[in-house]
Amino acid sequence: MSLIAVVKRIAVTSLLLSLLLGCASVESRHPADPLEAINRSMDQFNQDFDQAVGKPVAKGYRFVTPSAVDLGVSNFFSNLADIPSAANNLLQLKPGRALSDIGRVCINSTIGLFGLFDVASDMGLPNYKEDMGQTLGYWGMGDTPYFVIPFLGPATLRDLLGRVGDTLINPISYPSQSIYLSLTALQYIDIRADLLEAGDVLDEAAVDRYSFVREFYLQRRDSQIKNGPNHMEDDELFDESLFEDEPPMQETE
């Protein structure tokens, strides 16, 4: 199957999901999650798949891959991601950031040996990583329903459409299908390996893992679209107030 066919299937799936979300009558306590019952089932499927396949493969990758090589792989994919980031910064009318992204690609692809070394960061060029989902939000596409994608995890309809655009821009989609699939698989294994410790902490800390991931994802995306920080501090990441239905009672004197 060609990349174009895959993109078309994603687009059709997005349309069907939007129709399903519009017609859904599944009761949900969260306004952004009208399909909570279905999403929870899909999230459980993803967790089961991760425990059976994703996590063991990531551990094996971590075990056999020297740390320097692992860092080089991460840098390689980060360098490729600077290309759609530059395009999205231009679409958001941020030419300075776009030039910074382009400069990063030029430096890391040459001096940094095809992106294996992040020379640009050492030279002080910031890493913005804007994506199409943020661009759609920048131009007024409001909050869209939250749902869980098989194998890929949390998203919104806006971010799923954005992923289609970013995929078409990212050079990883240019080679043959076999090379594209191989690079994509390596990228996800590398990301999963980098998140091994974070996943263990999340499993231990979250009272309701599904709700925690949903709130963190939605808050983080809202912050990114508004050009806030691209991450939460550790204290905020495991803030138990995310699961409180009501604010704590204040003590009276």
CB 57 within 8 A of CB 167: no
State the DSSP string of 46-107.
Answer: HHHHIIIIIHHHHHHHHHHS-HHHHHHHHHHHHHHHHHHHHHHHHHTT-HHHHHHHHHHHHH
Model confidence pLDDT, tens digit, residues 115-124: 999 999 999 9
Alpha-carbon distances, residue 182 vs 33, 173, 191, 215 (angstroms): 33, 11, 14, 32
* Gyration radius (Cα) of the chain, Å: 19
| Extended strands (E) in the chain | 146-149, 153-156
pTM for this entry: 0.73
**Three-class SS of residue 38?**
helix
* Across 131-152, average pLDDT: 91
Model confidence pLDDT, tens digit, residues 183-216: 999 999 999 998 888 777 777 766 788 988 999 9
CA angle 53, 54, 59 (to 5 degrees): 100
CB 12 within 8 A of CB 20: no
